[in-house]
Amino acid sequence: MTTFNYFKIFALILVAALGSCQKSTELEIVKSFDGVETELWEHFDNFEKEAARRGVHIDLAASGITGSIEKIHTPGMVGICNHRVDTPNHVMIDSDFWNSASENAREMIIFHELGHCYLHRGHNDAAHSDGTCSSIMRSGLGGCVDFYTNSNRKGYLTELFADAQH
Ligand SMILES: [Zn+2]
């Protein structure tokens, strides 16, 4: 067998491995949330799971919180917790932000809005000594710098759920 043929076989195995990997992601069961756009389900589910890890029981579906991804026409605003009569607790995420944001940024904004809509938290612009925000409930106008990374995520989530009812 030539080196080229070995390479072809290796390429086939690689494609098969990637293919099976994608399939298992698609089959992953995520809880469903009525009135919430499907793309947000994973994050709503993670919000409940992260709360549960900290001893806080949250059932977003039972709370009736709805959610959508659509154009928000206020400059600089990427998410809103909307209180309309028909949808009193509606998380709205800006579509332009959604399409360009990293997974961490998406999660931070959704969790921030759920912080308003579900946890009834207001804004907190307190900063650590290095200038980074101490809460994801920062207003975005208060001068502290967002630093929601894989390594800081845990601390921010502990802060988010700290005063929630157990
Ligand atoms: Zn806010």
For 27, counting Cβ atoms within 10 Å of its Cβ (0-12 exposed, 13-18 middle, 19+ buried), the class is exposed
30 CA from centroid of ligand 1 (Å): 26
34 CA from centroid of ligand 1 (Å): 23
Instruction: Quote the CA–CA distance of 143 and 117 in Å, as a whole number.
Output: 24
Question: Is the pLDDT assigned to residue 22 strictly greater than 80?
Answer: no
139 CA from centroid of ligand 1 (Å): 5
**29-56 pLDDT per residue, tens:** 778 999 999 999 999 999 999 999 999 9
**83-134 pLDDT per residue, tens:** 888 888 999 999 999 999 999 999 999 999 999 999 999 999 999 999 999 9
pLDDT classification of 163: cutoffs 50, 70, 90: confident
Which of 163, 159, 101 minimizes the C-alpha distance to 132? 159
**67-79 pLDDT per residue, tens:** 999 999 999 899 9
Q: For residues 90 and 81, is the Cβ–Cβ distance under 8 A?
A: yes
Taking residues 145-166, report their average pLDDT. 92
pLDDT score, position 46: 97
Topology classification of domain 31-161: Zincin-like (3.30.2010)
The edge-to-edge listing of strands for the beta sheet with 79-82 is 66-70, 90-94, 79-82
113 CA from centroid of ligand 1 (Å): 6
Whose tokens are 């409940």? That residue is 48
Three-state DSSP at 92 gives strand
